[in-house]
Amino acid sequence: MRREYLPSTALQTWAGLNDVHLNGVRIGQTSNDRGLGVIATTESLEGPAILMIVPSHLILSLENVWIHAKSDPHLKEVLDAVGEYSQTARGAILIFLLMQITHSALAGSDKIGVANPLTEYVKFLPPKVPLPTFWSPEEKAVAVGTSLEAALGSKLRSLDREFTHLHDSTASIGWCQKHWWRVGSGALSLDDWKQVDAMYRSRALDLPGTGHAMVPYVDMANHASGDETVALYDTDVDGNAILFLREGKSLKPGDEVSITYGDEKGACEMLFSYGFIEGTMSSARELFLDLDIPDDDPLKLAKKAVSKAAPGFKLFSKEGTIGWEGEFTWLVCVNEEDGLDFRLMQTIDGEKELKLFWNDEELLDISKLRSFLQEGLYWDVFQLRAIATLQGRVEQQLITLERSKDSINASKLEADRNPSSYWVIMRLRELEEKLMLQAYEEFEERVLQGLPLVSVYCYC
């Protein structure tokens, strides 16, 4: 679908018209080739000075999307049509973004939707967001063997399902059929859906008191972690979004005002969601590897049927030590002879339901399995099994990473055309290989010693 764009030089005017309060900052080109950013214009700003106040009605959140729908019948029609999907922040915001693009693309009597300040703000967003969902086959080939390979494949399948759901839910709506779906006049494509997804993922903030949202102007700030983070964002008592200078920080004209997108995020997540890996990152920090139940496990189908846990584990490095977490791992490592059992039980409405038991006690939540194992006599044995399983999976991933080097050589031509994406993927390969080698060696040491690695669980 055709998009309209406005020059960044008009952002100051947009801010003034919409009561965005700026204190000694503006949006402008950065001096380090990071594109647009928040730039200081005033001398002697010191923390915790407020740099920006964005009115609450400009915050693009789940709640505000539904408020917009009260005066925009076309928006409400689509939100209602897609059902539960529009009850999530992501779903509602993606549909809202798509509606603003559609409104701007149509002219005259074909106009649908109601214009609002965010209709214009969307026109300031860049035409291209360099996320992996837009990579060519050659670029994807370079990512083979990294944790991003599986994450990207899963994301692309998810986007395809969402787009199909949008089509199936709205194809019977007259204006949707005409402007989105009809062969010849319909203009909406999967690429458009990927675009609004990229807008959201690369700009969404976890705003206190609001949740996941896009905040105009604040979302123009670039990322820097640790002590390099210059400013923080929050919500004031009136529900407005504010950007304020960190305590102990000061600014002079020309300085860039950075925020953090998440200091604990790993290299894969940064590349997946934002399209870059911070230059100062010396570790992958974390990665997720899928884990399958062996085919010779007689309870494989039953385990998969009852498990709601992600089928894999997270590997991470904290203060130089390897840790892991993953509820699914424990289910992989135990079997019937250990005390695991499945029973087909009848519910109160007469339906049959598969239930999980450990030593004749029902497990209502798979996350409790670890506690049951820990309380038993063979906890050390189960931990050792888990470590051996994880080590084998890490070894398998390292082999895949090594073998994929041939595909990297085959992708050199693509690298010459798009060197930035090539080198950032190479950086991910380097960081993840380093983390996995460290994990393999640490797992090996514990297996040889017969001592388990303590798994760390983090509830978020």
What dihedral do alpha carbons 188, 191, 193, 197 form, nearest 10°? -160
Mean pLDDT for the chain overall:
91
Token match 């705003």: residue? 207
Report pLDDT digits (tens) over 90-103: 999 999 999 999 99
Return d(Cα 356, Cα 375) in angstroms, integer.
Answer: 18
Cis peptide before 48 (omega within 30 of 0): yes
Q: Rounded CA gap, 147 and 268, in Å?
A: 7
Q: Is pLDDT above 60 for 456?
A: no
> CA 308 → CA 80, 93, 311, 417, 456, distances in Å?
28, 27, 8, 43, 20
> Does the structure show a pLDDT above 70 at 128?
yes
Classify the phi-psi angles of 356: left when phi > 0, otherwise alpha if psi is within -120 to 50, otherwise beta: beta
pTM: 0.90
**Tokens, residue 23:** 């204190």
Helices (H), 313-366: 327-333
**Which of residues 280 and 17 earns the better pLDDT score?**
17
Share of the chain above pLDDT 70, in %: 95
**457 pLDDT higher than 90:** no
417 vs 212, residue with greater confidence? 212
Using only C-alpha atoms, the chain has a radius of gyration, in whole angstroms, of 25
Structural contact between residues 254 and 93, judged by C-beta atoms closer than 8 angstroms: no
The predicted structure's pLDDT at residue 455: 44
Helices (H) and strands (E) in the chain, counts: 17, 17
Confidence check: pLDDT of 453 > 50? no
Predicted confidence at residue 429, as pLDDT, reads 96
Per-residue confidence (pLDDT) for residue 454, from 0 to 100: 44
